[in-house]
Structure 1
Amino acid sequence: MTKYARRRALVVGEATGIGLAIAKRLVEGGASVLLTARTEEERAHAVAELGSAARVVTPSAVEAALTGETGAGEAVIGTGPAGDDAPGFRGGVDLLFADAIPTARPLLPHIEDGGAIVLTAPTPCPDDVRALAAELASRGIRVNAVARAVSRRRAPAPYPCHRWGVSAPPRRWPAPRSSWPRRRRSPRGPGSPSTAASAAPEPAAPDPHHSPSPSPHPAPPIRKVGAHVMSTAPDTAPAAAAAPDPKGGGDEQQKLPLFALLALATAVFITSLTETLPAGLLPAMSQDLRVSESATGQTVTVYAIGTALTAIPLTAATAGWRRKKLLLTAMGGFALANTVTAVSSVYELTMVARFVAGIAAGLAWALLAGYARRMAPVHLQGKAMAIAMAGIPVALSLGVPAGTFLGDWLGWRVAFLSMTVLTVVLLVWIFVAVPDFPGQGRGERPKLLRTLRIPGVSPVLFVTTVFVLAHTILYAYIATYLDDLGLGGSTGLILLVFGAASLASIWIVGAQINRRLRGLTVGGALLVAVASLLLAVLSDTTALVYVAAVLWGLGWGGVPTLLQTAVGDAGGESADAAQAMLVTLWNVAMAGGGIVGGILLDTLGSESFPWTVLLLLLPVIAVVLYARRAGFPARRPGAEAEEAPVPAA
């Protein structure tokens, strides 16, 4: 279970009762947990219950744990040492569970923007919760209260509603209970969508200030206070923090950050176009650099080599960097490399610049998919990735022809300088619009071999390698293949048809990926296989060649999104390492496709391309169908949230 993978949570209060129950739920979901214990007895009990997945400290040591300093009285629980292998919290947390606002307020600077606070007081005051939520709205921090009852008294003694230290806005107080409208009770039972609690919630420990007798009746349904959930089910705390009200239509936290996702799509566009742009500019580049066209063509090869060699080690080395800083660094590398390429008249210097561009690509590709996932709620992650990955077909279908036209009109150097200008604009866009996320602490960084052993990761990587290899064999030599068919003059139009179909595929995948991950992957492979069969058997008919291009685009367009989503879901808290492996194997497969395609062309001719693609797709389909439990499940984890009904207000 990785529902809270890569989340860092701080649970303040007692290491017993509801505090321990929350910590257990978070640890089971894959979160790194920092828990406070007031006594040695509490600490020992937490050690026995939680194991090595959390840290237990005294309340006085919380600040030290969050700032990375050694706190007096701190104890690391479980079998793990207190050093690099312990869960790291330096830099802050994104989930805070506290018993009251005065407890939470000193810790606000340590909560990441976009995080969540859950208050577990026995009788929270709605106005105080609203006021704190309004105060933190500019940071994107959600505030929820999870309690056994809700205080509605204006000034109840001995605990006035304003005791938490927040200035509540004036409001009309509710009418007496007898005049409240009757609410329809929702059915209760295991898995009932109207409750955020699990089927068998653990009882919370009695609170010293408020100890009502346990009720034999089911808890009332979730109540919405403003845009923030207040629930009477104490065991719902982790669910409330992670994904409150999945279909809460008015909640801004449940909407896709479209402007930021379009920035990521532009980054993907620049990454893809920078790699393939020389293919349309080879004659002019080779003339200016005074080398042959085949030598100039190696600018694409050295780019792929730079990506393949550095994606994994650079991803591991920069795992602790904040994500926005890392993305800006990668795109800055593109601006530098394209500028040097544009002004260079020396072949060797151009090759170095292209290698640097490949390094930046490896860093960006390993980062972008996970970035898009973290910017969206679980039930919208597929759509977020589809938007971000839309830059690939746009670059291939529109970017390359546009770059070639610009190069023919104003010169190839202007084409590369235009890429630099676009990248500089993107840097400003990212700085202004894209949210930041923390990197991984030293104790949280996964080992690559350990990541490879995670169920589901290896099948996805195998499918990636073979699928990309099959696609590249035909795509890299499509001009030669079409020329042999007598359609050399229609190459641009056929690629435009392919690109348009790819865009349609991305839209379809984005809409359906949560509910049909495996079906879409199998369907994509089958469509490419049918397209290959048409090209192999019926390529004499020009109309069927265009039909094959449409099927090819529909099958291939959504594949990057599908594979990156699958490997991210399978990797869980090791998703970044899994993405780095995927990027490396993707580029190895692209280079291999060029090599294998060249060998086939020299030995068997271009007519062997479709048959080879068809043969390679057979194990792809078999592995996708086989990895139904881990790797390519029918439905993504969290897909049920997209279809869950809205809890009754």
Structure 2
Amino acid sequence: MMACTGFLVIMTETLPAGLLPQLASGLQVSEGGAGQLVSAYALGTVLAAIPAAALTRELRRRGLLLAGLGGFLATNAVTALAPSLTLALAARFVAGAFSGLLWGMLAGYARRIAAPEHAGRALAVAMAGTPVALSVGTPLGAWLGSTLGWRWSFAAMSLLAALIMIAVRAVVPDAPGQRAQTRMPLRRVFAFPGVPTILVVVFTWMLAHNLLYTYIAPYLRESHLPLRPDLALVAFGVAALIGIWITGLFIDRALRRLTLVSVALFAVAGAILLAAQGSLSCALLAIALWGVAFGGAATHLQTAMSAAAGENADIANAMLTTAFNAAIFGGGALGAVVVDGLGARTLPAVLIVLALIALVVGFGRRTAFPVNT
């Protein structure tokens, strides 16, 4: 059910990107205006993740999970019925806030209800919903919207939220919140050894990812590659599932090496893409490596953050969520500068630089990713 929750959250976040023409027509705005539905969601996540985690640390986890899922049920229903862009934007902002709440608690919840020796594997399973949503869910939602109308896509998200809530009540064990005597102020959690380093790695690594993911279409076009963007992203999503599987096998005994290899694969994929101008086979190889490297990224980072923050893992993972969504914002902004100024063909070079920064920052010091993990 954790994986299903992740699927719902990511699908809700990315769905407007596949429905921009329908949203623009239905709400009588430009496609640029409809695109702000994605921005409003991300903004809600950035602003709400840390305060939501701080205010709910002591609450029992299953009730909190059900409240977050109920928020998605309601906000997707409002979006489906919204008569104007203004109401849809407000609903999307609130949905983003519930996203911040759920991402801040899912990692700690998944680890708490698993045996300690399998905590990393449990987190890998919980995070599997992300690549499935990106590779299958969003294209399926876009197809449904183009066939029946965009409002039905958001209505389907509300129905999915209701079904997950029923399943959570039936099969997911409860877990206590954080004990009052172990709660620490936000500034002290931020100062824990390893936490600032992990946040820098999150931002630079995910910024590299979002640059290419957001602007994959102009990159493929300018590189003269005979590959449709939707098919490229399906290949990426399938490879990401393989990355999740590999992560589940090794995360509990080789976190440092697994994360190091994943970040390094980003740089390797960027180098292949630079050399792949016009070569479909090279491009597909690079996309596969990129997907495998990204598939376990959330699990690697949240496992490292949970280890660094201990019983304050929920608030620390809320910081991680904020850094992650800041990278989504940054990827769109920096990518636009690169694409408009230097051309989309140079995106892999920027990806390489960012991946190398993540490698130097994250693995030059051993507090964030200790040798024995």
Match of 1:561 in 2: 299
- On the 8 A contact 2:224/2:277 being kept in 1, the answer is no
Equivalences for residues 159-198 of structure 1 within 5 A: none
- On the 8 A contact 1:285/1:412 being kept in 2, the answer is yes
Instruction: Give me the whole-angstrom Cα distance separating, in 1, the residues matched to 2:11 and 2:302.
Output: 19
Instruction: Give me the whole-angstrom Cα distance separating, in 2, the residues matched to 1:554 and 1:436.
Output: 32
Deviates more, 1:439-448 or 1:568-577: 439-448
Deviations 1:91-129 (CA, angstroms, capped at 9, x unpaired)? xxxxxxxxxxxxxxxxxxxxxxxxxxxxxxxxxxxxxxx
Query: Shift of the alpha carbon at 1:618?
Result: 1.0
Deviations 1:411-436 (CA, angstroms, capped at 9, x unpaired)? 11111111111110000111111111
- On the 8 A contact 1:479/1:488 being kept in 2, the answer is no
- On the 8 A contact 2:224/2:278 being kept in 1, the answer is no
1:435 to 163, 173, 176: 173
1:534 to 261, 264, 272: 272
Equivalences for residues 237-248 of structure 1 within 5 A: none
Instruction: Give me the whole-angstrom Cα distance separating, in 2, the residues matched to 1:285 and 1:409.
Output: 13
Instruction: Give me the whole-angstrom Cα distance separating, in 2, the residues matched to 1:469 and 1:343.
Output: 34
> For structure 1, which runs of at least 5 residues remain unmatched after alignment?
1-262, 637-649
Equivalences for residues 134-213 of structure 1 within 5 A: none
- On the 8 A contact 1:515/1:634 being kept in 2, the answer is no
Deviations 1:481-533 (CA, angstroms, capped at 9, x unpaired)? 11223347522221111111100011101110122111111111111111111
Instruction: Give me the whole-angstrom Cα distance separating, in 1, the residues matched to 2:16 and 2:261.
Output: 33
1:517 to 240, 244, 255: 255
- Structure 1 counterpart of 2:312, which letter? S
Equivalences for residues 203-352 of structure 1 within 5 A: 263-352=1-90
Match of 2:370 in 1: 633
Query: Shift of the alpha carbon at 1:626?
Result: 2.0
2:223 to 472, 485, 489: 485
Equivalences for residues 72-83 of structure 1 within 5 A: none
Match of 2:156 in 1: 418
Query: Shift of the alpha carbon at 1:445?
Result: 1.8
Instruction: Give me the whole-angstrom Cα distance separating, in 1, the residues matched to 2:258 and 2:336.
Output: 31
- Structure 2 counterpart of 1:618, which letter? L
Please state if 1:392 is matched with 2:130. yes
- Structure 1 counterpart of 2:370, which letter? P
Instruction: Give me the whole-angstrom Cα distance separating, in 1, the residues matched to 2:116 and 2:365.
Output: 22
Match of 1:229 in 2: none
> For structure 2, which runs of at least 5 residues remain unmatched after alignment?
none
Instruction: Give me the whole-angstrom Cα distance separating, in 1, the residues matched to 2:147 and 2:221.
Output: 25
- Structure 2 counterpart of 1:322, which letter? R
2:201 to 454, 463, 473: 463
- Structure 2 counterpart of 1:603, which letter? G
Equivalences for residues 17-28 of structure 1 within 5 A: none
- Structure 2 counterpart of 1:338, which letter? N
Specify the SS of the correspondent of 1:426: helix
Query: Shift of the alpha carbon at 1:446?
Result: 1.6
Please state if 1:577 is matched with 2:315. yes
Match of 1:621 in 2: 359
- Structure 2 counterpart of 1:422, which letter? L
Assess, with a 3 A threshold, how the Cα gap between structure 1 residues 397 and 579 changes in structure 2: closer, same or farther.
Answer: same
Assess, with a 3 A threshold, how the Cα gap between structure 1 residues 313 and 322 changes in structure 2: closer, same or farther.
Answer: same
- Structure 2 counterpart of 1:612, which letter? V
- Structure 2 counterpart of 1:499, which letter? G
Q: TM-score, length-normalised on structure 2?
A: 0.98
Deviates more, 1:392-401 or 1:478-487: 478-487
Query: Shift of the alpha carbon at 1:338?
Result: 0.5
- Structure 2 counterpart of 1:541, which letter? S
- Structure 2 counterpart of 1:450, which letter? R
Query: Shift of the alpha carbon at 1:322?
Result: 1.0
Instruction: Give me the whole-angstrom Cα distance separating, in 1, the residues matched to 2:19 and 2:222.
Output: 22
- Structure 2 counterpart of 1:457, which letter? V
Match of 2:192 in 1: 454
Please state if 1:473 is matched with 2:225. no
Assess, with a 3 A threshold, how the Cα gap between structure 1 residues 488 and 409 changes in structure 2: closer, same or farther.
Answer: farther
- Structure 1 counterpart of 2:30, which letter? S
Structure label with greater radius of gyration? 1
Specify the SS of the correspondent of 1:607: helix
Identity across matched positions, percent: 45
Deviations 1:232-287 (CA, angstroms, capped at 9, x unpaired)? xxxxxxxxxxxxxxxxxxxxxxxxxxxxxxx0100000000100000000001000
- Structure 1 counterpart of 2:73, which letter? A
More strand by share: 1
- On the 8 A contact 1:494/1:549 being kept in 2, the answer is yes
Instruction: Give me the whole-angstrom Cα distance separating, in 2, the residues matched to 1:595 and 1:565.
Output: 29
Match of 2:325 in 1: 587
Query: Shift of the alpha carbon at 1:469?
Result: 0.8
- On the 8 A contact 1:337/1:353 being kept in 2, the answer is yes
- Structure 2 counterpart of 1:439, which letter? G
Query: Shift of the alpha carbon at 1:635?
Result: 3.4
Specify the SS of the correspondent of 1:440: coil
Instruction: Give me the whole-angstrom Cα distance separating, in 2, the residues matched to 1:440 and 1:569.
Output: 15
- Structure 1 counterpart of 2:200, which letter? F
Match of 1:502 in 2: 240
More helix by share: 2
- On the 8 A contact 2:225/2:278 being kept in 1, the answer is no
- On the 8 A contact 1:370/1:576 being kept in 2, the answer is yes
Instruction: Give me the whole-angstrom Cα distance separating, in 2, the residues matched to 1:367 and 1:618.
Output: 30
- On the 8 A contact 2:199/2:323 being kept in 1, the answer is yes
- On the 8 A contact 2:62/2:173 being kept in 1, the answer is yes
Specify the SS of the correspondent of 2:245: helix
Q: CA RMSD in A?
A: 1.1
- On the 8 A contact 1:518/1:624 being kept in 2, the answer is no
Specify the SS of the correspondent of 1:540: coil
Specify the SS of the correspondent of 1:291: coil
Query: Shift of the alpha carbon at 1:300?
Result: 0.5
- On the 8 A contact 1:446/1:577 being kept in 2, the answer is no
If asked which structure has higher relative contact order (CA below 8 Å, sep 6+), I would say 2
Match of 2:281 in 1: 543
Assess, with a 3 A threshold, how the Cα gap between structure 1 residues 540 and 547 changes in structure 2: closer, same or farther.
Answer: same
Assess, with a 3 A threshold, how the Cα gap between structure 1 residues 507 and 634 changes in structure 2: closer, same or farther.
Answer: farther
- Structure 1 counterpart of 2:198, which letter? V
- On the 8 A contact 2:178/2:311 being kept in 1, the answer is no
